[in-house]
Amino acid sequence: MPLQGHLRKMRAEHSAPVNYRLPLGDAEEPLNDYLGREVALTHTGAIHCVACGRKTSKSFNQGHCFPCARGLARCDICIVRPERCHFHEGTCREPDWGQTHCMRSHVVYLANSSGLKVGVTRASQVPTRWIDQGARQALPVLRVASRRIAGLAEVAIGRHVADKTDWRRMLKGDPEPRALAESRDELLTLAAQELDAISAEFGAGTIERVADAEEVVIEYPVSRYPDKVRALNLDKTPTVAGTLLGVKGQYLILDSGVLNIRKYAGYEVVFEA
């Protein structure tokens, strides 16, 4: 029976392989059950803001209407550039939200998705953040006191390693295994001077090295990776269909192309197999 509702980013449970669920309104459909089956998603034309519920003709920042994209802290530039957090200046769009989400413990990590990269996430979002990025391996490197400090530490380490995922490469297959603990030691040595300066500025205990962390290995429910990655677009083609070959990160991998579910948060769709 077809299911209808507004998309949200896929829910993921770290198991072997990752167990994915597709939120459609109040329901969550277990996606792993559809591997190898023909599926279709059809956009009805309706889009509702994931924050306020307002109907909108175009979505911004992964599902927000224009007023929310302009007014909510979660849509500010510091979400993608945490070193630019301005909570301490008293100019946060939503101080209560910033206090809850930004002024709390964060983790600086290394991940291997399309290759080695550095990233940051709230401690409470481990390992969800790694799964959302399609990481095959991940390792916490630093534990810090706030999002801004995490961003500054990420910039320091990012001078010596990538800080972004190549999503096309990530969707072509598993990356070559990396010795993350060795990479951690090397990168922390290279960035030591800048990290010491950050600690001196913000005080003792604001940056803590996670020396005893265990590497996390993530397996995804993928039967076959595409030879060529073709992005599907619900705005241009309201119905996307094909055999579900796998799920990785926030992407459905179909034999007809790949669909970034998170990009279309707030879109009303009909899902059927």
Quick check: 150 and 210 in contact, CB under 8 A? no
What pLDDT score was predicted for residue 177? 97
How do beta strands 257-260 and 239-248 pair? unpaired
Please tell me the pTM assigned to this model: 0.95
Tens of pLDDT, residues 27-59: 999 999 999 999 999 999 999 999 999 999 999
Using DSSP's 3-state secondary structure scheme, residue 239 falls into: strand
Residues in the chain: 273
Spatial distance between the Cα atoms of 72 and 1, rounded to a whole number of angstroms: 37
Spatial distance between the Cα atoms of 63 and 54, rounded to a whole number of angstroms: 11
Tens of pLDDT, residues 77-105: 999 999 999 999 999 999 999 999 999 99
In order of 64, 65, 150, 160, 246, the CA distances from 50 in angstroms are: 6, 8, 27, 37, 26
What pLDDT score was predicted for residue 55? 97
* Helix (H) or strand (E) run with residue 248 in it: strand 239-248
What pLDDT score was predicted for residue 241? 98
Using DSSP's 3-state secondary structure scheme, residue 99 falls into: helix
What pLDDT score was predicted for residue 205? 87
**Cα dihedral 222→223→228→234 (10° resolution):** -60
What pLDDT score was predicted for residue 162? 94
127 prior amide bond cis, ω within 30: yes
Domain limits, the chain: 3-56+221-272, 105-217
What pLDDT score was predicted for residue 72? 97
Tens of pLDDT, residues 218-242: 999 999 999 999 999 999 999 999 9
**Cα dihedral 7→19→129→49 (10° resolution):** 10
In order of 142, 183, 186, 191, 255, the CA distances from 152 in angstroms are: 12, 19, 18, 11, 41
What pLDDT score was predicted for residue 10? 98
Of 124, 116, 120, 105, which is closest to residue 184 (Cα–Cα)? 116
Of 117, 102, 115, which is closest to residue 151 (Cα–Cα)? 102
Region class of 141: left (phi > 0), else alpha (psi between -120 and 50), else beta: alpha
Tens of pLDDT, residues 110-168: 999 999 999 999 999 999 999 999 999 999 999 999 999 999 999 999 999 999 999 99
What pLDDT score was predicted for residue 204? 86
For residues 52-74, average pLDDT: 96
Tens of pLDDT, residues 195-215: 999 999 999 889 999 988 999
> Does 192 have pLDDT greater than 90?
yes
Spatial distance between the Cα atoms of 76 and 118, rounded to a whole number of angstroms: 21
* Helix (H) or strand (E) run with residue 264 in it: none
What pLDDT score was predicted for residue 68? 98
For residues 173-197, average pLDDT: 97
What pLDDT score was predicted for residue 1? 78
Of the pLDDT bands very low, low, confident and very high (cuts 50, 70, 90), residue 71 is: very high
What pLDDT score was predicted for residue 128? 97
